[in-house]
C-alpha cells in the first residue's frame, strides 16, 4: 500500500507513480485504516529536513497489520537531512520494520522562503526524477531495502536542533493574505489538506493549523494569495504531471 501526503502534488505524483509501477493501492495518510497485506510505502514531502510532524503522529496512530514493513520516500527541493535516522526511530516506536528511506528531487515549492523554478524547468526536474522513482519501485518489488543516505554532521544538525527552531519561527499561517484579485472561488478552502481555511466575508481565513504545504498559494487560479512580502513576484508551482505508468 502506498500512503501519501502532498501539498502541491509532488509527493502525490511520486505516490501514484509507485502505485502504478507496483500495481498497488494508493491512499492519503488521512485514511482511518491503513490495513494491507503488502509493505507500506510512506510518501511525503520533506519539511525542515524531516517528514512532517503530523505525518509522524498519524503513522504512530495508524492501525497496520503484518507484514509491518515500512518504506519511506521523501520528495525534496535539495536534500532530506538526517531523515533516515528519524524514520528508523519512528518505526521502532510504531512497531514497524524499517526498510529504508529514499529521496526524490522535485521542483521547489516553498515560496515563502525559496524561488520556484519556471514551468519549463519544473517539467525537466520531474522528468529527471522518473528513473529514481522506477528504481525505488524495482527495489520495493524485490523486497530490497532502500539505501539510506550517509548522514553528515550538517544533516544531523538540520534534522536535529534546527528542525524545532524552524517550526517555531517559520511554520505558521499568519503571513498569508489575499489581494484584490481574489474572486471568492473557495478553491483554497477545498485544496487545503489540513482543512485550515474557511471563507469569511468572501475572503479566505487561516486558522492556525497550517503545515506550510503551500497548496493554497500555489494553486490559486487567480494568484491572489501572498505570504507576507516574501512571495511577491515568485513563480507559483503546482505539479500537474501525469504519473508514471507501467508499459
pLDDT of residue 166: 87
The Cα–Cα gap between 137 and 146 comes to: 10
**Residue 235 CB neighbour total at 10 angstroms:** 18
Of 46, 11, 7, the residue nearest 133 (C-alpha): 11
Quick one: cell of 133?
Answer: 522513482
What crossing angle do the helices spanning 10-22 and 119-141 adopt, rounded to 10°?
40
Closest listed residue to residue 226, CA positions, set 137, 111, 127, 108: 111
Collect the ranges in the chain with pLDDT lower than 70: 31-36, 63-67, 247
The C-alpha cell of 72 is what? 519511506
Pair 204, 225: CB distance under 8 Å: yes
Question: In whole angstroms, what is the distance from residue 63 CA to residue 31 CA?
Answer: 10
Which of 9, 6, 136 lies closest to 73, judged by CA?
136
> What per-residue confidence (pLDDT) applies to 67?
61
pLDDT at 171: 87
**Mind listing the domains of the chain with CATH numbers?**
2-165 (3.40.50.360), 172-227 (3.30.70.20)
Q: How far is CA 114 from the centre of its chain?
A: 16
CA end-to-end distance (rounded Å), the chain: 20
Q: Residue 30: its pLDDT value, please?
A: 78
pLDDT score, position 149: 81
Q: What's the rounded Cα separation, in Å, for the pair 106 and 221?
A: 22
C-alpha cell at 194: 489540513
Instruction: Report the alpha-carbon distance of residue 104 to residue 190 in Å, rounded.
Output: 27
Amino acid at each position: 500500500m502506498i500512503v501519501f501526503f502532498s501539498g502541491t502534488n509532488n509527493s502525490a505524483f511520486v505516490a501514484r507513480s509507485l502505485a502504478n509501477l507496483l500495481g498497488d493501492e494508493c491512499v492519503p495518510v488521512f485514511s482511518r485504516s491503513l490495513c494491507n497485506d503488502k509493505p507500506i510505502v510512506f510518501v511525503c514531502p520533506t519539511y525542515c529536513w524531516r517528514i512532517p510532524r503530523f505525518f509522524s503522529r498519524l503513522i504512530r496512530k495508524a492501525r497496520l497489520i503484518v507484514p509491518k514493513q515500512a518504506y519511506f520516500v521523501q520528495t525534496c527541493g535539495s536534500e532530506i537531512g538526517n531523515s533516515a535516522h528519524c524514520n528508523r526511530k519512528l518505526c521502532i516506536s510504531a512497531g514497524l520494520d524499517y526498510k529504508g528511506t529514499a529521496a526524490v528531487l522535485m521542483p521547489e515549492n516553498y515560496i515563502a522562503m525559496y524561488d520556484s523554478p519556471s514551468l519549463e524547468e519544473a517539467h525537466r526536474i520531474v522528468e529527471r526524477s522518473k528513473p529514481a522513482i522506477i528504481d525505488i519501485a524495482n527495489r520495493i518489488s524485490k523486497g530490497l531495502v532502500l539505501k539510506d543516505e550517509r548522514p553528515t554532521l550538517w544533516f544531523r544538525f538540520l534534522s536535529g536542533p534546527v528542525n524545532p527552531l524552524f517550526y517555531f519561527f517559520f511554520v505558521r499561517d499568519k503571513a498569508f493574505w489575499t489581494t484584490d484579485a481574489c474572486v471568492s472561488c473557495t478553491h483554497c478552502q477545498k485544496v487545503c489538506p489540513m482543512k485550515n481555511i474557511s471563507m469569511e466575508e468572501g475572503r479566505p481565513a487561516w486558522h492556525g493549523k497550517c503545515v506550510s504545504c503551500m497548496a493554497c498559494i500555489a494553486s490559486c487560479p487567480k494568484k491572489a494569495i501572498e505570504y507576507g512580502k516574501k512571495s511577491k513576484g515568485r513563480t507559483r508551482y503546482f505539479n500537474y504531471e501525469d504519473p508514471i505508468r507501467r508499459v
